[in-house]
Amino acid sequence: MKHKNVVRNFFYIVSSVLKVIASILAAVVHVWTVIIAFKISGFWAALLSFLFPIISQIYWAVKIFGENMMYFYAVLATFSVALIGTIIRLVLKEK
């Protein structure tokens, strides 16, 4: 039974690290989103992007797809890391 605890603790640590990484990525991408919105559409777009982060990140990633692929990949990485960490946490919580 000790083996199960070691594996469970390992995945708990992995999910905790992923949560920290996702939080840092989310903050960076959020600021980046507001800057992109301001440069392309002005103050009101930046304000709306600031107030609605997830929706605006999806919107701007689609809108500037092909022009700024680094931003697209950053948004994709943020959502992916958060999703993987959430799935691990949900699986750990079930058992």
Q: Is 67 a residue whose pLDDT tops 80?
A: yes
Residues 63-77 have a mean pLDDT of 95
CA 89 to chain centre: 16
pLDDT band at 6 (very low <50, low <70, confident <90, very high): confident
CB atoms within 10 A of CB 14: 14
pLDDT band at 55 (very low <50, low <70, confident <90, very high): very high
Residues 54, 65, 63, 71: is their CA dihedral positive or negative?
positive
**For the whole model, what pTM was predicted?**
0.86
pLDDT in the model for residue 51: 98
Residue 48 CA to residue 76 CA, distance in Å, equals 21
Residues 25-33 have a mean pLDDT of 97
Residues 11-25 have a mean pLDDT of 93
For residue range 75-92, list pLDDT tens digits in order: 999 999 999 999 999 988
